[in-house]
Amino acid sequence: MLDKIFPKVHDEGYKFLVIFGIATVILNFIHGFLGFIGLILTIWCYYFFRDPERISINDDNYLVSPADGTIIQVQETQGPKELNLEDKKFTKVGIFMNVFDCHVNRIPCDGKISEILYKPGKFLNASLDKASENNERNYYKITNAQGEDIIVVQIAGLIARRIISESIKDQTLKQGNRIGMIRFGSRVDVYYENYTTLVKVNQKTIAGETLIAKR
């Protein structure tokens, strides 16, 4: 029960908690109300960097959501040209994460990370379609047991300034395992083929748990 109210903090969050905590103490010396505002922001910082445990279905007939957030796009499209997949057809699901969502990202299925590619870019509003092509982003090409490519793309947003990858090339992961996080508001796109989409625009998702597609 307590772990739901006070989930563990991602390693990236500790330095920010220290900064926010020190700032709160200083603000409190200036004025009690400022200290209260600082305390609220420190609590927000704690929950932003929360890293709760998630229980995945552990069934490769399904893909689970790679991110907490809201579905903003479901469409048929070409694969990312950055991975030389522009000649293949995929279904693409875009998930927008606001600053109150958990920002830890997870792998949609069991598989091997066959390629990781980082692309520097702009910091446009992540909810815009062009963010998928223009913003700073990190690509994960995942090969599942059937030899199919599942692509997860971390996309930095208007506020986000750092994409964190916790995975390496040729690493084998289980469905729902952590692959990284993005700091402060962002988006994750997932590309897949040979699955039927189960989600729709404006639907809320939970990383590692919400089923987004089925064989």
CA 19 to chain centre: 24
- Does 135 lie in the same domain as 43? no
- Does 208 lie in the same domain as 157? yes
For 134-193, the pLDDT digits (tens) are 888 999 999 999 999 999 999 988 765 678 899 999 999 999 999 999 877 689 999 999
- Does 142 lie in the same domain as 115? yes
Question: Is residue 132 flagged as an active site residue?
Answer: no
Quickly list DSSP for 12-44. Answer: GGHHHHHHHHHHHHHHHHH-HHHHHHHHHHHHH
Residue of 56, 132, 167, 186 marked active site: 186
- Does 106 lie in the same domain as 36? no
Residue at 24 is within a domain: yes
pLDDT, the chain, mean:
91
Q: Is 1 exposed, middle or buried (0-12, 13-18, 19+ CB in 10 A)?
A: exposed
> What predicted TM-score, i.e. pTM, was given to this entire model?
0.89
Report how far apart, in Å, the C-alpha atoms of 97 and of each of 67, 109, 183 are. Answer: 8, 20, 10
Structural domain boundaries enclosing 19: 2-48
Residue at 7 is within a domain: yes
Q: How many domains does the chain have?
A: 2
Q: Provide the CATH number for the domain around residue 101.
A: 2.70.70.10
Crossing angle for the helix pair 14-30 and 32-48, nearest 10 degrees? Answer: 170
- Does 87 lie in the same domain as 17? no
- Does 154 lie in the same domain as 86? yes
- Does 84 lie in the same domain as 111? yes
- Does 200 lie in the same domain as 101? yes
CA pair distance 35, 50, nearest whole angstrom: 23
Phi and psi at residue 21, to the nearest 5°: -65, -45
Segment 96-125 mean pLDDT: 91
List the structure tokens of 27: 């603000």
CA pair distance 147, 197, nearest whole angstrom: 19
Q: What is the pLDDT of residue 185?
A: 65
- Does 121 lie in the same domain as 39? no
Q: What is the pLDDT of residue 3?
A: 66
